[in-house]
Amino acid sequence: MELQFMKMQIFEIGLLILAAYIGGLVARKLKIGEVIGQICGGILVGPHFLELVHRFLENHEGLKQIFFFKPIYHFYDTAFPEYAKILESYHFFVFLFLGLIAFSIGEELHWDRIKEVGGRAAIICIVQGILTWGLLFLGFRLIFKFDIVLSLILGSIGIATAPALTFLLMNKLKIEGTLKNVLANVIVLDNIMEVLFFSVFLSVGVVLSKGAHLSTLHITGEVIWHLLLAILIGLAIFFILKLTIKKRLPEDVDFKESDSFLSTVLSEHPTPSVEILLIILGVVSIGVAIAINFNLPFLITAVVAGLLISNFHSHAIFDSLKIENVMPIMNLLFFAIIGASVRLESFSNETLIFVIAYLILRTIAKIFGNWLGCKLTRQDPKITAALPKLMLPQAGVAAVETILVAAMLKGHGGEIIFDTIIPALVVFELVGAWLSERTLIKWKNWTVGEREALLAKDIAVGEFTISGLIDDRVIEMMATTREQAIFELAQLFVKEGIIHETKIVTQSIMEREKLASTAIGQGVALPHCRISSIRTAKVAIGLLRNPIDWHAPDKKPVNLIFIILTPDAFPEQHLQAIQIISRALKTPHFKERLREALSRYQVPEFLEQLTHLIQKEPDEKMDLIYEN
């Protein structure tokens, strides 16, 4: 019997790996997210899907004898109990994997990184996190009468965000800069906050599952005691890793300190390696097992160990958790087990309602919470529009925690959490992939393409011409500050009835300038904003008698300003306008000729001549610098 069981174990692990790999491959081809494919692959070879197939065959006798279905039916009758039992035996890997993820969070808790994140990202994270947790908690508690602890746990899982899909799309579209930095900072803090919330509420659930009538004071005392013990185990993990892994030293330091015998025998230098990964895996696994044995919040144990390693030992240790040839295997196996564990037979109209409610409430909270956080921190309007739509994908930490709840609160409501969240994760990955890609493409049209528009020749400019964009909006100015210059140029648009008041333009542009200068180098600035009341791009030019410091990347003061207004409905016009301006700037002696035309009241004639001139290949190129 033992040999038979072992053969079945080998067979099932091979089947899971192969199915998840093929599923991920298909998903990549379909561009719907590799994780979704791996989960679906696990579902198709899992015991719960097999049981559904068996029920189908029971109701369709003729299909039992078909070549494809006959072995499936026979396998169910002879080996299904063992097959299902073996899957449960693989769940240990989920706990181990989650321990590693929690340990790796310590990398982001290095003091220097926390300082880099800044207060604005923290505010966005707290606002959207609290709103997501609160809305899910209240929704499931008040509408569906969920147990209070289960509602708290479900709300905490809802906070988690999976960045892998979004950053994959960013890399594909070659998006760098402000949006990527803000998103990364918010997601890091978001997942740290989520792990803390989840650990505390799961601890409460575990304590309550052991006794029916406990006072609030007793529960609080138990949870605090559990947290302290979990921290102590994390401290022990830190000391063991500190002993066995030497701190990386600068190459120019000749290290001659006499190590202890044990340290000399066991120590490894923290260069990225499988050896370091094995040490981390072994020590963290033992710590996690001890914490689980005493029903402690083992995520806190792992996070504390990672935090201490990051701040008081070697930050380089975490590089071994990113080895390309090792970690993808663990990811694949984890999501295969998640998929195979989905209890398809438990889905009903009731659970479908729970899934839909979770999808709606989390979507509202994430989008509105991030939008509100961006507004409170006065983010660039483009970031305010884009960031909320990038925070929906959730597979990852949420999937691990969901199966953890199902295991630790089995018989106490953990199963309903699993049945609610796992299907929702699939939807969030699919919808999140679609929405993220659309948002990032729009972002690229708004901002990232500005440098390319200045330098490239192949951007379609539609019907735009330099004379059509500018008309006769060219003035010479005595302004001494950016605010004065923008105000004077905005008045040109008010006089023509393009906008009703200068404040619409000046406030929007100055908010943009606070984030990053729109000076592009060589004395040129391109302040810009989007206006809902216009249907086509408009440009005004200001020639400064006395150059103004515009915080340009080349440190040169600005004496030529193009202020660009583009419609909300057509963001692509921004790049088209910049391309036209770029072509004008590449013509010889543009500034001098424009200033001369202004003095002779011949600006329209000059712009018409320029329109014809820039249709040809420019003779000179202006070496423009642009940093978004």
Q: Which region, left, alpha or beta, applies to residue 268 given φ > 0 means left and ψ of -120 to 50 means alpha? A: beta
Is there a single domain that holds both residue 297 and residue 324? Answer: yes
For the segment 161-185, the average pLDDT, to the nearest whole number, is 71
Q: Which residues contact 257 (CB under 8 A, 6 or more apart)?
A: none
Higher pLDDT, residue 433 or 266: 433
Q: Are residues 195 and 79 in the same domain?
A: no
Residue whose C-alpha is closest to residue 489's, from 538, 523, 451, 522? 538
Domain membership flag for residue 313? yes
- Which of these, 412, 311, 462, 339, lies nearest to 24 by C-alpha position? 339
Which sign, positive or negative, has the C-alpha torsion 301, 305, 311, 317?
A: negative
Q: Distance (Å, rounded) from C-alpha 274 to C-alpha 269?
A: 12
Q: Please check whether residue 622 lies inside any domain of the structure.
A: no
Q: Is 296 left (phi over 0), alpha (psi -120 to 50) or beta?
A: beta
- Do 309 and 181 sit in the same domain of this protein? yes
| Residue 627 belongs to a domain | no
Residue 286 confidence class, pLDDT cut points 50, 70, 90: very high
464 and 509 co-located in one domain:
yes
The CA-based angle 355-358-364, given to 5 degrees, is 140
Q: What is the CATH number of the domain that holds 96?
A: 1.20.1530
Beta strands in 152-308 (DSSP E): none
Q: Identify whether residues 599 and 480 lie together within a single domain.
A: yes
Would you say residue 252 lies in a domain?
A: no
Identify which has the larger pLDDT, 568 or 565.
565
pLDDT (tens digit per residue) in 25-38: 998 888 776 777 88
CA 458 from centre of chain: 32
Mean pLDDT of 516-531: 83
Total number of domains constituting the chain: 3
- Does 270 reside within a domain? yes
Task: Please say if the pLDDT value at position 383 is more than 80.
Answer: yes
User: What is d(CA 580, CA 615) in angstroms, rounded to the nearest whole number?
Assistant: 10
- Stretch 15-31: mean pLDDT, rounded? 88
Q: Which of 430, 448, 466 is the last residue of a domain?
A: 448
Q: Are strands 538-548 and 474-477 parallel, antiparallel or unpaired?
A: parallel
Q: Where residue 253 falls among pLDDT bands split at 50, 70, 90?
A: very low
Domain boundary among 69, 89, 109: 89
Do residues 304 and 189 both lie within one domain? yes
Q: Are residues 464 and 415 in the same domain?
A: no
Q: Output the CA–CA distances (angstroms, integers) from residue 160 to 366, 414, 421, in the order listed.
A: 10, 18, 12
pLDDT at 613: 67
Per-residue model confidence (pLDDT) at position 21: 92
Q: Which of 89, 111, 127 is the last residue of a domain?
A: 89
What the block records as the tokens of 238 is 């830190």
Asked if residue 146 and residue 129 are part of one domain, the reply reads: yes
- pTM above 0.85? no
**Both 444 and 464 in a single domain?**
no
**How much of the chain is in helix, strand and coil states, percent to nearest 5?**
70, 5, 25
Same domain, 177 and 159: yes
Residue 618 clears pLDDT 50, i.e. is over it: no
Q: What's the whole-number mean pLDDT along residues 455-471?
A: 63
Is 401's pLDDT higher than 60?
A: yes
Residues 582/463, Cβ–Cβ less than 8 Å: no
Tell me, yes or no, whether 602 and 474 share the same domain: yes
Distance from C-alpha of 309 to C-alpha of 248, rounded to nearest angstrom: 12
Domain of 17 in residue numbering reads as 2-89
Spatial separation of the C-alpha atoms in residues 536 and 538, rounded to whole Å: 7
Judged against a pLDDT cut of 60, whether residue 407 lies above it is answered with yes
For residue 545, the SS3 value is: strand
C-alpha closest to that of 240 among 285, 273, 271, 199: 285
26-80 pLDDT per residue, tens: 988 887 767 778 888 998 888 888 888 877 777 776 666 666 666 766 676 667 7
**Is position 621 within any domain?**
no
Place of tokens 């003091």: 111
Q: Which helix (H) or strand (E) holds 564?
A: strand 558-567
